[in-house]
Structure 1
Amino acid sequence: MTTSDLNLAEQAAADVVDFCRDLIRFDTQNWGNGKSSGERDAAEYCAEILRQAGLEPQLYESAPGRTSVIARWKGVGPQGSAPDRGALVVHGHLDVVPAQAEDWQVDPFAAELRDGLIWGRGAVDMKDMDAMILAAVLQLTREGFQPERDIILAFFADEEDNGTYGAGWMVREHPEVFEGATEAISEVGGFSADIAGQRAYLIQTGEKGIHWTKMIAEGTAGHGSAVQSDNPVVTLGNAVAKIGEYEWPIEYTKTTRALMEQLSELTGIPFDEEDPSALLEATGSTSKFIAATLQNTSNPTALDAGYKHNVVPGSAEALVDARTLPEQDERVAAKLAELAGEKVRFELMNGGPSLEVPFSGALVEQMVASLRAEDPDAVVLPYMLGGGTDNKHLASLGIAGYGFAPLRLPADLDFTGMFHGVDERVPVDALTFGVTVLHRFLSAQ
């Protein structure tokens, strides 16, 4: 590495910290159902950095303040792109879930630097990756690098509410932006976890589907002192209890089976398909994260019934968040209806497919090589995400999405617990590691 290269790497390390803190200071809270602080200011900030990199970003606004920014970094290979691979989408989102300031040790939007960590809403989900993308791209363009294939840089609005005003809208209204794209990388993968005393990096090669429903029970409204045979609160309460207490069977996908088999090799603990609890326990703080991907899940999340103490209402409603394994949406819907009983009807509020892509090929090889170049002892494993990302929307265009936001983390940090959590924070050292890995990965494109 020349002195010039070293200076640019040092600048990128400083940039990623500054960019992350600046982005956290933009209040981009997303309360759902279209209610949001908006992403416009954060999008303009990203666009300005992309202009500094010599790119030509475009802002797209799906509704007032709901802004995404896209820039295509043209490749210099044949016909502007590597012909056998197509364009790569590198994407993040600018919105964050709400933060209740009174619950935090710090102001969630001050981006305080304390004890070597950046604190604030979005530090983990996912303004850290946004900052890494910006810093890595800026470093590469300062070095005069040009990719072989097109790289589409995207910073979306509204990921935290299913992308209605962000990636979903972009795919529906402006699919031409993603023309020629075949692969994508984004959040919730590439981070390290301490497993059996070894540093394992989890690359996301799948994510569960979304099946959000509203349960509705109807009955006869009346006085609270009367005998009621069809009280909808009771009907719904029984249904909620049955769904909440139901234990879905363990089932393995290609991704989760590969993960469990490799974990068994790593830890020396036998893989018991019927009861993988011992193997899961060995994964430490990531155990709950992984356990949720071994079965369908269904959690009642909200109840709404009644308006006065002495009035039996005519109806009662509940929300259920179900996450599905590949090709199991219909099966899950049927099971929920069976558990709830015939007196309860369901309305689908939101749905999205489960995704699964191969843990093989040139892109995965480049991820692994980039990690091991900076951490030679890295163990790299595939895993499935229990939640969802904007890769679901890109999948409708035939784009294979991976989770690769590289971070080398302290063994005692409950990283997965930071997502949507109180006192969200990311180590500065993890960010500087991440921008170095991402720089190396992008330089291979």
Structure 2
Amino acid sequence: MSKETIFGFIEKNVPLIIALETELTKRPAIAPESGGEGEWEKCRFLEQWLKDRGITALERLDAPDKQAKGGVRPNLIATIPGKNDAKRLWIMSHLDVVPPGEASLWKSDPWQVVQQEGPRGTVLIGRGVEDNQQGLCSSVLAALSLISQGITPPHPVKLLFVADEEMGSAYGIDWILKNHPGLFRGDDMILIPDGGDPRGETIEIAEKNLLWVRFTTTGSQAHGSRPDQGINAHLAGADLAVRLHEGLSKQFSERDPLFEPDYSTFQPTKKEANVPNINTIPGEDVFYMDMRILPRYPIKAVLTEIDRIKGEVEAKYGVKIAYTPLQSVESRPTSPEAPLVKLLSGAVREVYGVETRPIGIGGGTVGAYLRNAGIDSVVWGRMDDTAHQPNEYTVLENILGDAKVMAFLMMEER
């Protein structure tokens, strides 16, 4: 079958993909930690939808979670058999979405897809339509362009729809790698269509190391007029936050142009409430830091420096400081010369006429887990990056174009 035949199928199935986006959006897949029921209903719908359209080689890998509907967080694999079982191509998207946020900021119901026409053609608006249903729908449409026309790709294609990406992947790819270690092979190639830019010119091959930390400072409560009778945990905690920000930034100060920003970041973020009234010296104070660290610096070295700074603050104020890492992920990069990077670059050039370039990001993606397992993975997509925003949208032409890129990859001899 020619490229034109495959691309023609994709272009003719606009109503199908709008309907799929609409049905997926109707089924909010929000983590229990964020007040939702998980991915159960969305996964069951998608599983049946694929079966009805001829994608029948389906496998579920369900992570137990008592908080979620059905008692599990489902991970679904759809396989399109190939002529040669070597060098499989995976396309991995995630089923979960974030909550819609402040309702007044939405111009429409976030769980009902709204179709609008604009300067760039049709856009679809709704929670999840871009993050990550754009990539999900593109991968499904690409697979259907082969299955529906009786085309067998040179190598197997596996679509992986994972749970729990938005909350850290404990029930998603991290759970899969720990509980099904033989699922992936060292020469597998994995495309993650969960990030990109409006032109599709950036291929994310690396991430900064990720460290989220909760700091608890314990002093002694007192009346606001008698600080001499207490130990101000808030004052010590504030000093700790500033010292960590400045000290870690100075200690780990090298730059890498692959990333934007090109340096490690150490940011105090969330702050918990301490005392409810103004005239009380707080005896306990809690804050959090989000640290995105260039891969050249191991997290262990950062923790050592945190211990040193913590000791200085404890000695100065007479407080006790405890900290708990909430997320700690070190990421091995994919080589810019990896076969997947080159194949994807060629596919993007063929479909979009765009020259790509490799980049690193500060944000965390599921790609880090795979790279650390020794499997080449890249994050790519042509998107406006409206994820997590009110009135999230996807450009319909991006769904179709990305599906063509994926179909091109599926048909490549490797």
TM interval, shorter chain, is 0.7 to 0.9
Whole-angstrom CA distance in 1 between matches of 2:290 and 2:3: 53
- TM-score, structure 1 length as denominator? 0.79
Corresponding residue number in structure 1 for 2:114: 112
Q: Say which SS state the counterpart of residue 161 (structure 1) adopts.
A: coil
Which of 388, 391, 399 is the matching residue for 2:367?
Answer: 391
Q: CA RMSD in A?
A: 2.6
CA offset digits 1:73-116 (Å, max 9, x no partner):
33321xx22xxxx3232101111122122222222211211232
Whole-angstrom CA distance in 2 between matches of 1:89 and 1:99: 29
Contact 1:40 1:65 in 2 (8 A): yes
Corresponding residue number in structure 2 for 1:197: none
What is the percentage of aligned positions where both structures have the same residue? Answer: 21
Corresponding residue number in structure 1 for 2:388: 420
The within-5 A match list for 1:23-102 is 23-30=24-31, 32=33, 36-51=36-51, 52-62=53-63, 63=65, 64-77=71-84, 80-81=85-86, 86-100=87-101, 101-102=103-104
The within-5 A match list for 1:103-142 is 103-115=105-117, 116-142=122-148
Q: 1:379 to 1:353 in 2, by over 3 A?
A: same
Whole-angstrom CA distance in 2 between matches of 1:180 and 1:57: 22
Q: Say which SS state the counterpart of residue 118 (structure 1) adopts.
A: strand
The within-5 A match list for 1:173-252 is 173-179=179-185, 182-189=188-195, 191-193=197-199, 201-228=201-228, 230-244=231-245, 247=249, 251-252=254-255
Corresponding residue number in structure 1 for 2:380: 404
Contact 1:206 1:383 in 2 (8 A): yes
Whole-angstrom CA distance in 2 between matches of 1:321 and 1:119: 30
CA offset digits 1:232-284 (Å, max 9, x no partner):
1111122223445675666344xx44xxxxxxxxxxxxxxxxxxxxxxxxxxx
Q: 1:342 to 1:187 in 2, by over 3 A?
A: farther
Equivalent AA in structure 1 for residue 238 of structure 2: G
- TM-score, structure 2 length as denominator? 0.85
Whole-angstrom CA distance in 2 between matches of 1:140 and 1:335: 54
Q: 1:240 to 1:55 in 2, by over 3 A?
A: same
Whole-angstrom CA distance in 2 between matches of 1:2 and 1:243: 55
Give how far 1:439 is off.
Answer: 1.4
Contact 1:188 1:385 in 2 (8 A): no
Q: Say which SS state the counterpart of residue 29 (structure 1) adopts.
A: coil
Whole-angstrom CA distance in 2 between matches of 1:12 and 1:335: 56
Q: Say which SS state the counterpart of residue 169 (structure 2) adopts.
A: coil
Q: Say which SS state the counterpart of residue 235 (structure 1) adopts.
A: helix
Q: Which runs of 5+ in 1 are unaligned?
A: 194-199, 258-289, 410-414
Give how far 1:383 is off.
Answer: 0.7
Give how far 1:129 is off.
Answer: 0.3
Q: Say which SS state the counterpart of residue 178 (structure 1) adopts.
A: coil
Which of 149, 169, 172 is the matching residue for 1:166?
Answer: 172
Corresponding residue number in structure 2 for 1:264: none
Give how far 1:7 is off.
Answer: 5.2
Q: 1:5 to 1:355 in 2, by over 3 A?
A: closer
Equivalent AA in structure 2 for residue 167 of structure 1: I
Q: Say which SS state the counterpart of residue 268 (structure 2) adopts.
A: strand
Equivalent AA in structure 2 for residue 182 of structure 1: D
Q: 1:6 to 1:70 in 2, by over 3 A?
A: closer
Give how far 1:160 is off.
Answer: 0.7
Q: Which runs of 5+ in 2 are unaligned?
A: 66-70, 315-320
Q: 1:2 to 1:420 in 2, by over 3 A?
A: closer
Q: 1:54 to 1:324 in 2, by over 3 A?
A: same
Corresponding residue number in structure 2 for 1:322: 291
